[in-house]
Amino acid sequence: MIAPHLLSDKAILPAERLIFALDVPDAAAARALVETLGDTVRFYKIGLELFMAGGYFELIEWLRARGKKVFVDLKFFDVPETVRSAVRRLQPYGAAFATVHGNDAILRAAVDGAREAGGDLGILAVTALTSLDQADLNDLGFACDPRTLVLSRARRALAIGCRGVISSGLEAAALRESLGEQLLIITPGIRPVLNRPDDDQKRTLDVEEAFLSGADHIVIGRPIRQAADPHAAAAAIQERIARLFTTATPAH
């Protein structure tokens, strides 16, 4: 569903609705790209590739020192007590969000860990990866469609106390209609233009479609990173976001 009444009216700066996926081989490449993007990007997602490369937490501190917001995308998945402890260790670095993947006990442990450590770290529950389609879910043994799975996980995440969910834009409208404005919806797999044939993201939307389906933030990586001019590509997306939130009036 794409409709102006689903446009987010949360108090989020338009320039912070774009989260750039900083998926590069190492911290030096990450810093260089951040410098290239300059003020066109204020919010960064850093994931497993950079974590394995080393210097991950130093990179968080470097980004925070430059006034950037950081989204830690490590998809914590382990026994609950281990997840609780990991989240507590993360708290001092000032990240805005951290992703957790797992059942209710794992999500609850993450929420408890963030609360015990103080601060304002928001736990985001992963619903269904945007690289998965119905055939993939069938192979994994899920006897339901992506929408049903996403709604089920989101309802449980809300009840447990998660700040929001990671969800494809294709399910964002159903989440918004079902759960209202209670949860943040962060939507990856955004493609400002048509997907390439070799793209591993299967359930995608473009910028305007995602926000008009209820997303609060969108995550974009390759369309900016692989552009001939990443700075110009990010600026163009920010202009689209600013235009959308300036001209459209949510009607909640």
List active site positions.
75
Long-range contact pairs involving 127-131 (C-beta distance under 8 Å, separation at least 24): 127/153, 127/154, 127/157, 127/165, 127/166, 127/167, 127/171, 128/153, 128/167, 128/168, 128/171, 130/168, 130/188, 130/189, 130/201, 130/202, 130/203, 130/204, 131/189, 131/200, 131/201, 131/202
Q: What are phi and psi of 126, to 5 degrees?
A: -80, 130
* CB neighbour class for 240 (10 Å; exposed up to 12, middle 13-18, buried from 19): middle
